[in-house]
Amino acid sequence: MSSTACRLYRNTTLGNRLQEILLQFDKAINSALAQRVRNRVNFRGSLNMYRFPDNVWTFVLNNVEFREVTELTKVDKVKTVACNSKNTGSITTE
Amino acid sequence: MPSAPLRPSRPLARGCLLTGPSPTPTAGPLPMDEETYLELYLDQCAVQDDLVPPRSPLFSPVVPYVYTPHPSNPETTFNSHHESKETSGDFSSVDLSFLPDELTQENKDQAVIRSKHEIEENCEAQSQQSRLPLPSGQDVGPSLDSSSLSNSHSHLHLGDADSIQSSPEKPNSNSLPLASITPMTPMTPVSECCGIVPQLQNIVSTVNLACKLDLKKIALHAKNAEYNPKRFAAVIMRIREPRTTALIFSSGKMVCTGAKSEEQSRLAARKYARVVQKLGFPARFLDFKIQNMVGSCDVRFSIRLEGLVLTHQQFSSYEPELFPGLIYRMVKPRIVLLIFVSGKVVLTGAKERSEIYEAFENIYPILKGFRKA
């Protein structure tokens, strides 16, 4: 449903421009994550739940400690969604 | 077991007396007869029995002549029931050998399932069979009883096919199920020589959920599930209690591993089935079967493995460079034992708990013979 609708309005002046910009955004983010992000955070907690369909990991951890060299943060519940990439990036949401 | 306080110590008796009058819709004078009949029968049995089987409430308390496995006996019981109530003498011929001293959950469940299958297949046929050996003059009594039989059969039929809690209908003992419950070797693993009992470490079982499954949907919605179709074509699901792992295939078949006892394995498999069911699939619980049991124990002395492999070469294989343990393939029972110098023994390949115990009892004297120093 969505793909046929997309084809209708995306191939417009506005749509094309926005798609180019989105591509640029993707590239910029990927290079930034690869090059500019240097620090490393470790986190550990107890695993409440995990899931792994379609190569996407979802974890729910409890009593998590985020440990960086400088500081320590404690959180009750963390949901982590992660996919494979060359440099193993991840997106975390609370 | 004390023979003196009979009636209170027999749960079956209690059950019978309680449920005797109620299920038979036809009962007039009959429940009274059944009660006195039962009392006499039990008095007779108490003299014969050594042990009251703790699992006896499993069998249906409705019909007192439950305990006759042989096809010939129902005739005698029918006759004795209706012709002379006081024929406790007839029951000296009743074969109670099928009542096991101890029955493991697994055997009981298997027996239950077997008998349940038999019942579901032969329900009507057997209720008719039971009418056949009846003496012609005694139509009223037996037909009432058989109708109560068939009533309770139909109850079973309508009941949840998967629930093993529903007591199976023992009156169908004309057929195989009861005869197939062999008198058990005592399940308590008393070894004459030592008090060492192998502990079960792992049980692998399989069950058929009997419906096609959408693995992607399961992996997406279930907790603690992994699905990587490129690597392996099944969903790997885990539960915490009992701590087990299950492989669930799209055909609906499932393998459950990691449980420490037969009952835990069954319980875990049921929990997985319930998870699948809650996701919207019409899961059932067919053909639960334990495929492998692993046990381990410690004989507490060092063993000369080289000596053992020399004398038992047709059974043993020992390659210390390959694997530090001696692999002993016992023929009867068909169990593989891994024997280590430290005295630790791992037993695997069993389908029944008794096979593990038997194998250990067989190997222990052999190992003692190869004790180091």
Q: A49, B226: Cβ pair inside 8 Å?
A: no
B219 vs A: CB within 8 A: yes
Rounded Cα distance, B128 and B343, in Å = 59
B242-250 average pLDDT score: 95
Helix axes A13-35, A2-10, angle to 10 degrees: 110
Please tell me the distance in Å from A65's CA to the nearest CA on chain B: 22
From chain A, pick out residues whose CB is under 8 angstroms from the CB of B227. Answer: 52-53
pLDDT for the residue B70: 44
B226 and A CB contact within 8 Å:
yes
> β-pairing, B344-350 with A90-93?
unpaired
Tens digits of residue pLDDT in B255-268: 999 999 999 999 99
Q: Indicate the pLDDT class of residue B34, thresholds 50, 70 and 90.
A: low
Mean pLDDT of B334-354: 95
Q: Which residues of A touch B225 (CB under 8 A)?
A: 50-53
Chain B residue numbers touching A50 (CB-CB < 8 A) = 223-226
pTM above 0.90, yes or no: no
Predicted local distance difference test score (pLDDT) of residue B198? 94
SS3 B27: coil
SS3 B224: coil
List B239's β-bridge partners, or say none. Answer: B244
Choose, out of B214, B226, B235, the residue to mutate when testing the contact with A (most A CBs < 10 Å).
Answer: B226
Q: Is B51 left (phi over 0), alpha (psi -120 to 50) or beta?
A: beta
What does the alpha-carbon distance between residue B257 and residue B206 come to, in Å, rounded to a whole number?
A: 9
Contact with chain A for residue B225, Cβ under 8 A? yes
- Residue B295: name the closest of B338, B264, B325, B326 by CA: B338
Query: Which residues on chain B are in Cβ contact (under 8 Å) with A49?
Result: 223-224
Tell me the pLDDT tens digit for each residue of B209-236: 999 999 999 999 999 999 999 999 999 9
Residue in B220, B223, B224 nearest the CB of A53: B220
HSE of B83, CA atoms in CB hemisphere, 13 A: 13
Check pLDDT > 60 for residue B156: no
Confidence of residue A38 (pLDDT cuts 50, 70, 90): confident
Average the pLDDT over B2-28 and give the result.
45
> Which of B215, B227, B243 to mutate to test binding with chain A, by most A CBs within 10 Å of its CB?
B227
CA-CA-CA-CA torsion sign (B119, B124, B129, B131)? positive
Among B55, B160, B38, B149, residue whose Cα is nearest residue B101: B55
pLDDT at B24 (0 to 100)? 45
Compare A10 and B113 and report the one with higher pLDDT.
Answer: A10
Q: Are B98 and B114 in contact (CB under 8 A)?
A: no
The answer to whether A64 and A44 are in contact (CB under 8 A) is yes
Shortest distance between the Cα of A50 and any Cα of chain B, in A, equals 5
Confidence band of B49 (pLDDT split at 50, 70, 90): low
Instruction: Examine the pLDDT at B355 and tell me if it is beyond 90.
Output: yes
pLDDT at A32 over 60: yes
Residues from chain B that touch A55, judged by Cβ atoms under 8 A, are: 228
Q: Show residues of chain B in contact with A84, CB under 8 Å.
A: none
Number of H helices, E strands in chain B: 11, 10
Residues of A with CB below 8 A from B219's CB? Answer: 51-54
Nearest to B172 by CA among B213, B209, B118: B118
> How high is the mean pLDDT of chain B?
70
The verdict on B216 touching A (C-beta cutoff 8 Å) is yes
- Whole-angstrom CA distances from B58 to B67, B166, B204, B313 are 12, 8, 26, 47
pLDDT for B127 beyond 60: no
What digits encode the pLDDT tens for the residues B267-279?
A: 999 999 999 999 9
Interface contact flag, A53 B219, Cβ < 8 Å: yes
Comparing alpha-carbon positions, the chain A residue that sits nearest to B222 is: A51
Residue B317 near chain A (CB below 8 Å): no
Average pLDDT, chain A: 84
Q: How far apart are CA B104 and CA B25, in angstroms?
A: 35
Of B92, B223, B109, B237, the closest CA to residue B166 belongs to B109
All residues of chain B having their beta carbon less than 8 Å from the beta carbon of residue A52 are 219, 225-228
Q: Please state the three-class secondary structure of B40-74 as a single string.
A: HHHHHHHHHCCCCCCCHHHCCCCCHHHHCCCCHHH
Q: What share of chain B is helix, strand, coil (3-state, %, to 5)?
A: 45, 20, 40
Cβ of A49 within 8 Å of Cβ of B216? The answer is no
From B356, B351, B231, select the one nearest B290 (Cα to Cα).
Answer: B351
pLDDT at A69: 85
Identify the pLDDT of residue B316: 94
Torsion of CA B317, B318, B319, B325, to 10 degrees: 120
Task: Kindly report, residue by residue over B306-336, the tens digit of the pLDDT.
Answer: 999 999 999 999 999 999 999 999 998 999 9
Cis ω before B53 (30° cut-off from 0): no
What confidence tier does A6 reach under pLDDT thresholds 50, 70, 90? confident
Tokens 């009743």, residue located: B94
Pairs of residues, one from chain A and one from chain B, whose beta carbons lie less than 8 Å apart: 26
pLDDT of residue B87: 44
**Region B161-179 average pLDDT:** 43
